[in-house]
Amino acid sequence: MKYAAIQNYINGQFISSSSDRMLDVISPVDGSHLSTVPLSNNQDLDAAVQAAKVAFPIWSRTPIKERVQVFFRYKALLEKNLKELALLVQEENGKTYDEAVAEIEKGAELSEFACSLPQLIPGEVLEVSRGVECRTEHVPLGVVASIVPFNFPSMVPNWTIPNAIALGNCMIIKPSEKVPLSVGRLADLLQEAGLPAGVFNIVHGDGDVVNAICDHPGIEAVSFVGSTKIAKLVYQRATSTFKRCLALGGAKNHLIVLPDAIPSMTAQNITASMAGCAGQRCMAASAMVAVGPVDHIIEKLCEEAQKVVPGKNLGAVINRASKERIERYITEAESQGAKVLVDGRSPKVEGKENGTYVGPTVIDYVRPDMAIAQEEIFGPVISIMRTNTVDEALAIENANPYGNAASVFTQNGGMARYVMDKASAGMVGVNVGVPVPREPFSFGGWNESRFGVGDITGKSSIEFWTKLKKSTTKWNPEAGINWMS
């Protein structure tokens, strides 16, 4: 085992879980045994909630301009430790080093946004009647929870940590049991940045501790990022105990390609979108909807896909079960009549025979009724569906239950605008393979890609992590005037 057994982080200290349930942490890169992660119980969670509750009165009353100083320092520490943090992400998640670096850099950008919160949250004041003033202010909620997935072990935690904490809340995070190491390093850096004990806590585990989070009366709000199936369970359970909940789910992102699209740029963007992070991004292109004669673009796409080499510029998928599941989808589509143009099944990766790799895969003549066209694959696979008109392409995009991202590739501005208007997705792009809105814009999908109101990052997150206090004060001394009795 390369690292010591993982511990929870409660009240500024790493401590062992009182549970004896454990899981092995295996690197997808080469199958090596990295560590063990505890599957914490209610007692562990309760200890974290109590620590956060104790920390809350002082932290929430610390002026926000002082609170964000922690995140100026945290950002600098992410940058200073970039290489080591990226190597850890690479090791536990399987993505390439460059992708891991980009993930840490994005975390620093998220922290930078949190540093700007004092500029964004001043409330409003107005003399609403003579001598009578109304004012609003954003007040932190209390103890909040963040439940995160495996695909971005460092960045997705940083979607919630800086904003929720800078806004005055105390947090309990539940990392993915598949990638539990990176969040521990973030705890070290937050401590080094001066965050007081108890403000940030980590409780490791699986679905049991997530259920305990949803049920715990001391937690005010739950944010969740993961698959749609679990997002729905978490949203239902957390709101059934009257908590605020924002649950982001899975995705099936469509790229609509028109014949006038620039071939090489389009092919490069589609390849980067479908194969980046081994296709394990909720913004990854999963379906290409070809409108009319675009064979020349598909040809270029196959050329580009073949430049993506597992173990070099393509990382591993998270585990053996995931690899087998992805390859099953390809085989099933092929047996139903789809044509595999670039086949990534069972690639040989020298020296990493125990790693869980799937090569880039391009499948043509996929029909909208096939499972590969409908379900989230979460691997470096693009399914091409052929249509004759933009409206047919939009009908396919609109019929999918998810709604994270959609993009169109064209040189025709009117067509681009038309697709942007009609696509049923929270994040749309024109000639962009991965239309992630960069800070300060907020991130969040629609439909079955998000349950709850608002987005998880950017300005929208201010509404989620705070409540508004409205005060009315009267300073006119005259008696008998009924402006505000």
User: Catalytic residues, which ones?
Assistant: 282
373 is a contact residue toward ligand NAD (CB under 6 A): no
Q: Give the footprint of ligand NAD on residues 8-47 (CB under 6 A).
A: none
Single out the residue of 145, 172, 251, 285 in contact with ligand NAD (rule: CB under 6 A): 251
Give the nearer residue to ligand NAD in terms of CB position, either 40 or 191.
Answer: 40
380 is a contact residue toward ligand NAD (CB under 6 A): no
How many CB atoms are closer than 10 A to CB 331? 12
Give the nearer residue to ligand NAD in terms of CB position, either 107 or 149.
Answer: 149
| Residue 177, token pair as written in the block | 């049991």
Q: Give the footprint of ligand NAD on residues 257-286 (CB under 6 A).
A: 282
Q: Which residue is nearest to ligand NAD (CB)?
A: 226
| Residue 438, token pair as written in the block | 């960069």
92 is a contact residue toward ligand NAD (CB under 6 A): no
Single out the residue of 60, 151, 154, 400 in contact with ligand NAD (rule: CB under 6 A): 151
Q: Are 29 and 94 in contact (CB under 8 A)?
A: yes
Cα(first)–Cα(last) distance of the chain, in Å? 70
- Smallest distance from the beta carbon of 221 to ligand NAD, in angstroms? 16
Q: What string marks each residue from 389 to 408 as x (binds ligand NAD by CB under 6 A) or -?
A: ---------------x----
Single out the residue of 138, 174, 243, 323 in contact with ligand NAD (rule: CB under 6 A): 174
| Residue 483, token pair as written in the block | 């402006």
Q: State how far the alpha carbon of 58 is from the alpha carbons of 53, 140, 156, 373, in Å.
A: 10, 12, 27, 51
The Cα–Cα gap between 13 and 328 comes to 44
Which candidate, 91, 22, 95, 33, places its Cα nearest to that of 284?
95
CA 285 to chain centroid, in Å, comes to: 16
Q: Are 71 and 166 in contact (CB under 8 A)?
A: yes
Site residue total, ligand NAD (CB under 6 A): 27
Q: Are 364 and 338 in contact (CB under 8 A)?
A: yes
Q: What string marks each residue from 190 to 219 as x (binds ligand NAD by CB under 6 A) or -?
A: ----------------xx--x---------
Q: Are 209 and 185 in contact (CB under 8 A)?
A: no
Residues that bind ligand NAD (CB under 6 A): 147-151, 156, 174, 176-177, 206-207, 210, 225-227, 230, 233, 248-251, 282, 376, 378, 404, 445, 449
